[in-house]
Copies of this chain bind each other. A is one copy, B any other.
Amino acid sequence: MAKDTVTSEDVAKLANVSQSAVSRTFTPGASVSETTRERVLAAARELGYRPNVLARAMISGRSQLIAVLVAYLDNQFYPIVLEQLSRSLQQHGYQVLLFMTDPGNQDQMVQKMLQYQVDGIVMASATMSSTLARECAQTGIPVVLFNRYVPALPASSVTSDNLTGGQLVARLLVKAGHRRIAFIAGAENSSTNRDREAGFTAELAALGQRLWRRGIGGYTFEGAAQAARDLFAGDVGPDAVFVANDHMAFAAADVIRDELGLRIPQDVSLVGYDDVPEAGWGGYKLTTVKQPGEQMIEETVRILVEQLESRKVVKHEAILPSHLVIRSSARLPDAETLASLAGPGTAGTS
């Protein structure tokens, strides 16, 4: 950034045109004659000119920057989402400005984002205070909560149908004959956990059962491992465990098999949520509920781009369907029930 700085003026001089002509050449849809256009392009190439996006952003008010907030990247669901999101946004001419949130500094973070004049915000695996959301809304920046849902917030949200997902798991487990069904919760204040658990317990109740025991994993690997230990601490343990996401389910599996010496699914059934790649790996073969990550990303980008182009922020709420992915970590009910639970393409993807 030292002395190189080739500006549009340098190009203009070399091409013998006005500086505006250079600007127009690099502005899609501006009116330039083919001749000047070529002259400018030639000069630009010769000098190695690169338009300064920051300068453009200042005047046009569009930075082409999308802030993406993520709380952690160790649960594989999020890296994959981040990769797809980033690629898709790039395709639309936007770049991802990454923010790793700390539980404490959310407010600071949002200030930073706004300072960078980001055109839009995606909040994945991160909570946002209503004050902050309101602040964003005020500045007219579209916000999409990814995999989060907060009715009171003036922000769009894209989620999958966690309620139904939870229900499906309940039905699967009950119909397979389980009678001591436990649940390991994620973060208590997250909408994902709330909905998955609500659907799960509601369906349990509908089928005449109650949750046999409940642990809290907080969506962390270690938290889930401890929760699993606690769940099995008494004389008799659960015969099935539903874990609020795959990442925690792996921890539970390790405890159940390696520490407790129990077999999955012969001694205890295990079901996760998300369908991250590892769930399909041979080490776990986890029966789980698939969140349609790709569709969720597509929807997120659609909402964002639409609002960016129309310059109108409207609250959207997309809830995409999720379905069971049957592998071999949970005992199966009879074929008929199984078929009724099966979503599209439920056949054990690996």
Contact = CB atoms under 8 A, between A and B. Distances in A.
A282 B249 CA distance: 12
B98 A86 contact: yes
Contact of A52 (B96, B99, B117, B221): B117
B95 A116 contact: yes
A50 interface: yes
A119 B1 CA distance: 8
Interface string A49-69: 011111101100111010010
A46 interface: no
Contacts of A232: none
Count the copies. Answer: 2
Interface residues of A, number: 63
A92 interface: no
A348 interface: no
A28 to B, nearest CB: 14
Interface in A119-151: 119, 135, 138-141
Given A253-B283, A258-B282, A281-B283, A80 B73 contact: yes
25 contacts: A1-B119, A1-B141, A2-B140, A3-B140, A4-B138, A50-B115, A53-B116, A54-B117, A55-B58, A58-B58, A68-B98, A70-B83, A74-B79, A74-B80, A82-B98, A86-B100, A90-B100, A95-B98, A95-B116, A96-B97, A97-B98, A254-B281, A258-B282, A282-B283, A283-B283
